[in-house]
Amino acid sequence: MKRIISILIVIFITLLTFYIGERKTSIKASITINTDVEAKPYNPMIFGGFLEHFGKQIYGGVFDPGSPLSDDKGFRTDVIEALNELKVPVIRWPGGCFVDGYHWINGVGDNRKPTDDVRWGVIEPNTFGTHEFVELCKLLDAEPYICHNGLAEVKEMIDWVEYSNATEGKFAEMRKENGYPNPLDVKIWSVGNERSGIEYINKVRDAGLGMKKMDSSLLVTCSGIHGNSRIDPYLFEAGGEYLDYISAHQYWIENWQTHSTPDYLSCMMLSEKPELYIKSVINQIKTAEKEGHINKGQIKIAFDEWNLRSWHHPGFQRFEKVDYNDPEIIKLIKARDISLKPSIYNLSDALFSASFLNSCLRNSEYVTMANIAPLVNQTGPLYVHPEGIVKRTHFHTIEMYVNELEEYVSNAEIKGSKLTNGKDSVSVIDVIATVDKSGKNWAISLINRHPNNKLECKVKIGDKLLDGTYNARILTGESTDSYNDINHPNRVYPKEIEIKFKNGITQLQPHSLTIVHIESD
């Protein structure tokens, strides 16, 4: 009798396992890539980065004179090597809120003196200034993008442009005397960071006019929309004719004062919000176009600060000086290091970043630049410590997109089950389909947001269902909470795989990003 019971138990467990296995692959999605619609190019500058004089982004990040890992100019060679994997096309600098107290002239020449960084409550050594920034961009083959102090006079802004780009004039001569005879050729400039109001908009107008008079080829942007604000229509009326971009900023988990780490499902519920945000900005630009304040297609979107999570800075920003010996100030500044905690950056960050980039790619007619904030340390994709680096999960997302996608975005129709969390829901799948100029070589990015279940996915290109075995790279982990740290730098990293389609159908691993390469007839 006991033997019969044992056999029955084994059979029951086997059937239960089979049933659970079937349930884990029961979620379905279908992707139809419409080859009748012309694929559109996108601007690689959507894979850009941002660096601010905050935390350990600059000092102890990309720039660390005296470190055995730095070159003779102070640049961390391991950081440069890693960032070159991302082919960073553009870097925005020096802020961010830091720029509201920054005066560029303090960061050039041989006799630099430390200044009080009032906004962040630290002493700025000014050893990393305009020339160091441009040198960093050269090492990365990145376009330098400089943000002006939005509280400074317009003349100070124009002087900085002259110092950087002119061949003659007072400030061009100053640059030459500082050892740089040739112009720095900085083409992209922003009039301030996260500012608003009539006075600011008038400054955008005047600074934009002044910069365009110096060089009509310069690309000018300004603070347009951040957080849950809207673009002031007066910005288009007064300064629109001088603008090439509108800057947009958003962080979907706001950790400024109170730090939180929502679970994976909560983060996935945010993954469709970037597209809604982008479409809202596009609609506001289109309204300005219809009203005749700007020409159609003139102004693009520079989403020049974005990330799933904002960094943590309790008690700051400030406009008054602080006592650096005050125990409370020391405590508040130390609290910022919580943003460096490795376990925060798990598969949530990787898949949210992929979703954000998909939103930019789908709206590439308007979104032509995006800059993850920041590029290193704090909440950025690359963690830099005194003895080396750690590539966080979203580093690998960006690396895959930069190196795997083709140069044109095709139209893709996505149908899939919903992933729910309480009253919230998103599509369980997100997809972007890219193709090369010939129309034959495809790279399709497939995101399965489900935390536990495989996803049965059908893919059709034109009227043909995929059938066969294809090369792919997959980014996933043992669990949604998997992360990389100093002792385990490769818990989450892309793996080369082969992915099989039969009658168009394949299975995607849970909490995964897969980019598959297909050569069509």
- C-alpha 93/C-alpha 99 separation (Å) is 9
Instruction: Check if the beta carbon of residue 149 is closer than 8 Å to that of residue 191.
Output: no
pLDDT in tens, 184-206: 999 999 999 999 999 999 999 99
| Under 8 Å between Cβ of 506 and 457 | yes
Tokens 């900023």 belong to 249
Pairwise CA distance, residues 128 & 57, whole Å: 11
Question: H/E/C letters for each residue in 242-287?
Answer: HCCEEEEEEEEECCCCCCCCCCHHHHHCCCCHHHHHHHHHHHHHHH
Report residue 138 as tokens.
């050269």
Other CB atoms within a 10 A radius of the CB of residue 405 amount to 24
Mean pLDDT across the chain, nearest whole number? 95
Query: Residues 250-255: what's their mean pLDDT?
Result: 98
pLDDT at 4 over 80: no
CA quadruple 173, 174, 180, 182: dihedral, nearest 10? -30
Share of the chain above pLDDT 90, in %: 93
Task: Compute the distance between CA of residue 250 and CA of residue 255 in angstroms, rounded to an integer.
Answer: 12
Query: Helices 77-85 and 393-404: crossing angle, nearest 10°?
Result: 50
Residue that wins the pLDDT comparison between 30 and 16: 30
Question: pLDDT tens-digit profile of 42-66?
Answer: 999 999 999 999 999 999 999 999 9
Length of the chain: 521
CA–CA gap between residue 506 and residue 149 (Å, rounded): 52
Is 90 exceeded by the pLDDT of residue 11?
A: no
**Cβ-Cβ contacts under 8 Å for 212 (sequence gap 6 or more):** 218, 220, 242
Decide if pLDDT at 459 tops 50.
Answer: yes
Cis peptide before 317 (omega within 30 of 0): yes
Q: How far apart are CA 235 and CA 32, in angstroms?
A: 40
Structure tokens at 371: 């800059």
- Token couple for 501: 């389609």
Does the structure show a pLDDT above 90 at 7? no
* Closest-CA residue to 255 (of 305, 307, 308, 311): 311
> Would you give the distance in Å from CA 142 to the centre of its chain?
15
Cis before 297? omega within 30: no
Q: Which one, of 457, 405, 455, 456, lies nearest residue 433 by Cα?
A: 405
Residues 6+ apart with CB under 8 A from 244: 219, 220, 221, 298, 299, 300
60 phi-psi bin (left φ>0, alpha ψ -120 to 50, beta other) = left
Contact call for residues 48 and 89 (beta carbons, < 8 A): yes
Angle between helices 347-362 and 273-290 (to 10 degrees): 30
CA–CA dist 378, 383 (Å, integer) = 8
pLDDT tens sequence across 127-147: 999 999 999 999 999 999 999
List, for residues 348-398, the tens digit of each pLDDT value: 999 999 999 999 999 999 999 999 999 999 999 999 999 999 999 999 999
- pLDDT tens readout for residues 490-520: 999 999 999 999 999 999 999 999 999 999 8
Q: What percent of the chain has pLDDT over 70?
A: 95
Q: Where are the domains of the chain?
A: 27-34+407-519, 42-404
Cis omega before residue 94 (within 30°)?
A: yes
DSSP string, 352-399: HHHHHHHHHHHTTTTEEEEEES-SBSTTSSEEEETTEEEE-HHHHHHH
Q: Averaged over 226-253, what is the pLDDT?
A: 96
Q: Report the Cα–Cα distance between both ends of the chain, in Å, rounded.
A: 63
- Alpha-carbon distance of 302 to 389, in angstroms, equals 28
Rounded to the nearest 5°, which phi and psi values hold at 102? Answer: -95, 135
How many Å apart are CA 32 and CA 232, to the nearest integer? 39
Radius of gyration of the chain (CA): 25
CA distance 58 to 377: 9
293 neighbors 239 (Cβ within 8 angstroms)? no
| CB burial of residue 306 (10 Å; 0-12, 13-18, 19+) | buried
d(CA 436, CA 439): 5
pLDDT (tens digit, 9 = 90+) per residue, 462-488? 999 999 999 999 999 999 999 999 999
pLDDT tens column, 267-294: 999 999 999 999 999 999 999 999 999 9
Give the model's pLDDT for residue 17: 42
Domain 42-404 class, CATH top level: alpha beta
Q: How confident is the model at residue 521 (pLDDT cuts 50, 70, 90)?
A: confident
DSSP annotation of 70 reads B
The DSSP letter of residue 166 is -
Q: Is domain 27-34+407-519 classified as CATH 2.60.15.10?
A: no
Q: For residue 171, give the 3-state DSSP assignment.
A: helix
Which residue matches tokens 């792919």? Answer: 472
Q: Is the pLDDT of residue 1 over 50?
A: yes
Q: What is the pLDDT of residues 95-105, one digit of tens each?
A: 999 999 999 99
